[in-house]
Chain A
Amino acid sequence: MKQGLLAALFIARKDLRTEFRTREALNASVSFALVVLMLFSFAFDLGRDEFYDISGGLLWLVYVFAGALIVNRSFIREVPNDCLDVLIASPMPPWALFLGKTIAGFVLLLVVELVSLPVYGLFNNIQWVGVFWKLLGVMILATWGIAVTGVAFSAVTVNVRLRELMLPVLHYPLLVPLLIGAMQISTTLLKGDATDIFQELRIVIVFDLIFTSLALCLIEFILVG
């Protein structure tokens, strides 16, 4: 078990190292986030107060569109040179490989989100600094859900043609409950409402728990065919 966790960390570190070196996916993702933010600015012509009503929804739309680009490619990194085979043939347990890549994906997603947040605040005149820590909490919880499902789908579709076209069809619908929760919480936080967000938080946490366990259990079937 401990060996497995160590192996997971080695894999996470490898993914992060290669990504920060080339920054291909990060650049694409951040650029995409900025473009989407800009388009949304033109799409909606709302007054300041009305805008706060959709603030959480908008934020998470940007995050999920830009983020899915990163995690859905997670296992594709292992395809050139057949590295995936070497990893599976190694003593590392399959769940460790999956966990490592999910951790790396999660970190990369957070980077994109943290970079996009100030820009989002700027373009839309949204005050987020006051609720930053709580917002960060939501970002961490919901982003884990996006990462875990995205990396799982990436593993499942590693041999599939047209996977870039297909993944949105699969991944986004699955994320709907998570996104509803995250969007609602974020809007409440940004508006400064006193409403209780516990129920939404519960959905996000349950989503994370269910899909993390499901993915860890099923990953062996996916990788060793």
Chain B
Amino acid sequence: MNAVAADGVWKYFGDYPALRGATLEAPAGACVALLGRNGAGKTTLLRILANLSKPSKGAVTVFGQSGADAKVRARIGYLGHGIGVYDDLTAFENLTLFGQLMNVPDTKAAANAALERVGLTRVRDGFAREFSRGMRQRLAVARAFLHNPDVLLLDEPFTSLDDRAIAVLHELLRDALAKGATIVMSTHQIREAMELATQVALLERGKIVHAGPRTREMLADPGWLYREYEGQHS
């Protein structure tokens, strides 16, 4: 059984198909780099996988079950474009709140541990709105990983992170993979993605035009995949 599977997913916004029969399979423990130009449908697909949006046609399953089941959602960690933390709560309050909502046992301890992981213990009682951008990103990452999710859905997670935040995220992702988590991550920062990825999928105008293991060529020359497909599909 695949950890994450999208089967022939169509998504219409009005009459415009943002996704046209996208099919993606990620076995447990895989790290899928979801590539594609802007407007290709990466964010749409990730949102559907996270149960933020319902597909117009087709099905999406996580561990064989639909996202409508709350138990499934409890195993998913989502990091979208926005950081998903409250400006008027402290870092600690933010994490305890999300811990409670994600059914994390002993939320206070988990929040403290997460803050330590991302290096924000010192500003534990600072309001999120006072943080620098990098600190906010790290708090967001702490939130996404707080409940030790089995599936991580990340939308361009490396975009505009400072080096410290990139390092923190890298480490967290590597640890999660080591524990057997499955990751689907869309990215423009191709190099960082390729390092962690075990598989790549290229989304073009709503269709997955290439899905397969991450090869050595891709690691050496991350733009290879785009150039391969540009000729065929313009």
Residues of A bordering B, CB below 8 Å: 3, 6-7, 10, 14, 17-18, 21-22, 80-83, 85-93, 224-225
In the bound complex, how far is the Cα of B102 from the Cα of A89, in angstroms? 10
Cβ of B85 and Cβ of A83 under 8 Å apart? yes
- Chain A residues, Cβ within 8 Å of B93: 17
Write the nearest CB–CB distance from B133 to chain A, whole angstroms: 12
Tell me whether A91 and B88 are in contact in the complex, defined as CB-CB below 8 angstroms, given that A83-B82, A224-B51 are known contacts.
Answer: no
Tell me whether A82 and B103 are in contact in the complex, defined as CB-CB below 8 angstroms, given that A93-B70, A224-B54 are known contacts.
Answer: no
Cβ of A88 and Cβ of B84 under 8 Å apart? no
In the bound complex, how far is the Cα of B71 from the Cα of A89, in angstroms? 11
In the bound complex, how far is the Cα of B25 from the Cα of A217, in angstroms? 34
Cβ of B101 and Cβ of A82 under 8 Å apart? no
In the bound complex, how far is the Cα of B81 from the Cα of A86, in angstroms? 11
Cβ of B76 and Cβ of A89 under 8 Å apart? yes
Cβ of A92 and Cβ of B86 under 8 Å apart? no
Write the nearest CB–CB distance from A101 to chain B, whole angstroms: 14
Contacting A at CB under 8 A, from B77-126, are: 78, 80-89, 93, 97-98, 100-103
In the bound complex, how far is the Cα of B51 from the Cα of A104, in angstroms? 26
Taking CB as reference atom, which chain B residue is nearest A223? B52
Cβ of B98 and Cβ of A86 under 8 Å apart? yes
**Is B215 at the interface (CB under 8 A from chain A)?**
no
Cβ of A225 and Cβ of B53 under 8 Å apart? yes
In the bound complex, how far is the Cα of B54 from the Cα of A225, in angstroms? 6
Residues of B bordering A, CB below 8 Å: 47, 50-54, 70-71, 73-74, 76, 78, 80-89, 93, 97-98, 100-103, 143
What 5 A-B pairs come out closest when comparing CB atoms?
Answer: A82-B82, A86-B84, A91-B70, A91-B74, A18-B88
Cβ of A85 and Cβ of B101 under 8 Å apart? no
Cβ of B88 and Cβ of A22 under 8 Å apart? yes
9 example contacts (A-B, Cβ-Cβ < 8 A) are as follows: A14-B97, A18-B86, A21-B88, A81-B84, A82-B84, A86-B78, A89-B73, A91-B74, A224-B53
Taking CB as reference atom, which chain A residue is nearest B51? A89
Grouping DSSP codes into helix (H, G, I), strand (E, B) and loop, the B interface class, with mixed when no group exceeds half, is loop
Write the nearest CB–CB distance from A77 to chain B, whole angstroms: 8
- Chain A residues, Cβ within 8 Å of B86: 14, 18, 81, 83
Write the nearest CB–CB distance from A113 to chain B, whole angstroms: 24
Tell me whether A18 and B98 are in contact in the complex, defined as CB-CB below 8 angstroms, given that A85-B80, A225-B53 are known contacts.
Answer: no
- Chain A residues, Cβ within 8 Å of B102: 90-91
In the bound complex, how far is the Cα of B70 from the Cα of A3, in angstroms? 11
In the bound complex, how far is the Cα of B98 from the Cα of A55, in angstroms? 45
* 4 more CB-based (< 8 A) A-B contacts, given A86-B84, A87-B101: A81-B84, A85-B52, A88-B51, A91-B101
Tell me whether A85 and B78 are in contact in the complex, defined as CB-CB below 8 angstroms, given that A7-B101, A91-B102 are known contacts.
Answer: yes
Most buried by A among B88, B89, B97: B88
- Chain B residues, Cβ within 8 Å of A14: 86, 89, 97
In the bound complex, how far is the Cα of B76 from the Cα of A14, in angstroms? 22
Cβ of A81 and Cβ of B85 under 8 Å apart? yes
In the bound complex, how far is the Cα of B52 from the Cα of A212, in angstroms? 24
Taking CB as reference atom, which chain A residue is nearest B144? A86
Cβ of B78 and Cβ of A81 under 8 Å apart? no
In the bound complex, how far is the Cα of B70 from the Cα of A90, in angstroms? 8
In the bound complex, how far is the Cα of B102 from the Cα of A18, in angstroms? 20
Cβ of A81 and Cβ of B89 under 8 Å apart? no
Taking CB as reference atom, which chain B residue is nearest A96? B101
- Chain B residues, Cβ within 8 Å of A7: 100-101
Most buried by A among B76, B80, B100: B100
